[in-house]
Amino acid sequence: AAPRVIVVGGGFGGTAAARALVRSGIAATLIEPSTLYATCPSSNAVIAGLMPMSAITFGYDGVRRAGVTVVHDTVTAIDADARRIGLAGGQSLAYDRLVVSAGIGLRFDAIPGYDAAASATIPHAWKAGAQTALLARQIAAMEDGGLVVLTVPALPYRCPPGPYERAGLIAHVLKTRKPRSKVIVLDAKDSFSKQPLFQAAWTALYPDHIEWVPLGKGGRLDSVDAAARTLRAEAGLFRPAVINVVPPQTAPRLCIEAGLANAGDWCPVDPITFESALRPGIHVIGDAAAAGAMPKSAFSAFAQAQVCAGAVADLLAGRAPPEPKLINVCYSLAAPDYGFSIAGVYRPEWDRLVTVPGSDGLSPEDASPALRAREADLGRAWFAGMTRQLFG
Ligand code: FAD
């Protein structure tokens, strides 16, 4: 009989894996609850009013046209021994190989006062969609002179440079439309991804509109009072007009309940096949995977999907999967015409993925405005190309 391969999660990793499986001649079923997927990449531009929500929202018609069977339902349980999954709609499906790319879980128990109910008025906007639109509305409605506070967790979390891109694009709105306002970044760390590039941009573009408060200067968030709309951090009490809390993260609940995550809250995998180190027959890719040196990005999820789909095809055919090399590139904006990037190549070493020495590339610190503008355009071209490959 034809092998049954099921992919869980129709985001970057899952959609890419399902399409790659179909390209290699394997019938793949993709399970995703939502009929529309809003991308986190480019969502910071939506929050800053530079793009409409519709520009980051995609349906699954193109995925179906590519030959993937798409089922809109939620996976509620994975039985690794019986090789079956249960769906919220009541169905139970058997698989030979399962690929899970279910994203992240947000820890609503980590910051006193910041739970799921609080996120209805104090957005995290770390899963795109309604949360993105809510934060965009709050920024647009804020009066001049208001304070925006953005809080950032310790690593690891989805998209290491994402909070700093967001801070810069919010500062761009403030500088151009609400010049007496300011954004304060309360950070649970003392350093961050692409820090010299971000900080040089902020000094040049937003000297009066961004303040970064690292851990060592009191950046740790202690509690949130959603009713009073205040924050307590080590640095003091804040009463912002707009609050954006990015909470600490874990693998999603489905992965934790299925026994795919370890004590570190993420899912250990074989770096050649992305098969779970804990549950045979199940592959975990994307943000939920503990992928060593690879950052949690859409580009990483896409690269892992290609490797994983190839490995699944090999394993089903009784072949040994080859040692892969994986690439990640992350573009960030500091302003609509000011971009930069970080790149790396990764390969397996023992049980993890490591950076290939000398492969990591960073935009130069002394680039001309023309190069910054070109990198901003390259970032937009990456987004257009990636979403066309996934959903087109
Ligand atoms: P997701 O894309 O989140 O997909 C997971 C899917 O699984 C979801 O559609 C969800 O509905 C589904 N799902 C969850 N649970 C279940 C279940 N039980 N049953 C069925 N389906 C389920 N990355 C970049 O490379 N470049 C960028 O510029 C960039 N910018 C970013 C900006 C921001 C503000 C943020 C927050 C992130 C950004 N990222 C960027 C990171 C990127 O969004 C993630 O790394 C990427 O989405 C991870 O893909 P994934 O497949 O693991 O998860």
C-alpha span between 112 and 82 (Å, rounded): 39
Q: Is 153's C-beta closer than 6 angstroms to any atom of ligand 1?
A: no
Ligand 1 atom at minimum distance from 329 CA: 25
The alpha carbon of 72 and the centre of ligand 1 are apart by a number of angstroms equal to 17
From first to last of its 392 residues, what are the pLDDT tens digits of the chain? 899 999 999 999 999 999 999 999 999 999 999 999 999 999 999 999 999 999 999 999 999 999 999 999 999 999 999 999 999 999 999 999 999 999 999 999 999 999 999 999 999 999 999 999 999 999 999 999 999 999 999 999 999 999 999 999 999 999 999 999 999 999 999 999 999 999 999 999 999 999 999 999 999 999 999 999 999 999 999 999 999 999 999 999 999 999 999 998 999 999 999 999 999 999 999 999 999 999 999 999 999 999 999 999 999 999 999 999 999 999 999 999 999 999 999 999 999 999 999 999 999 999 999 999 999 999 999 999 999 999 99
Query: Ligand 1 pocket: which of 6, 7, 12 to mutate (most atoms <8 Å of CB)?
Result: 12
Report whether 316 contacts 284 (CB < 8 A).
no
Amino acid (1-letter code) at residue 329: V
Q: Is 75's C-beta closer than 6 angstroms to any atom of ligand 1?
A: yes
In sequence order, the β-bridge partners of residue 289 are 267
Ligand 1 atom at minimum distance from 101 CA: 51
The alpha carbon of 386 and the centre of ligand 1 are apart by a number of angstroms equal to 13
C-alpha span between 387 and 216 (Å, rounded): 39
pLDDT attached to residue 306: 98
User: Which are the contacts of 332, defined by CB distance < 8 A and separation ≥ 6?
Assistant: 161, 164, 165, 194, 197, 198, 339, 340, 341, 379
Q: How far is CA 362 from CA 250, 336, 367, in A?
A: 28, 19, 11
**146-156 as b/e, with b when 16 or more CB fall inside 10 Å?**
bbbbbbbbeeb
Chain Cα centroid distance, residue 317? 32
The alpha carbon of 48 and the centre of ligand 1 are apart by a number of angstroms equal to 20
In sequence order, the β-bridge partners of residue 100 are 8, 284
pLDDT attached to residue 217: 98
Chain Cα centroid distance, residue 73? 21
pLDDT attached to residue 1: 82
> Other CB atoms closer than 10 Å to residue 318's CB: what's the count?
6
pLDDT attached to residue 264: 85
Q: Determine which residue's CA is closest to atom 53 belonging to ligand 1.
A: 103
Ligand 1 atom at minimum distance from 328 CA: 25
Q: Global pTM?
A: 0.98
pLDDT attached to residue 308: 98
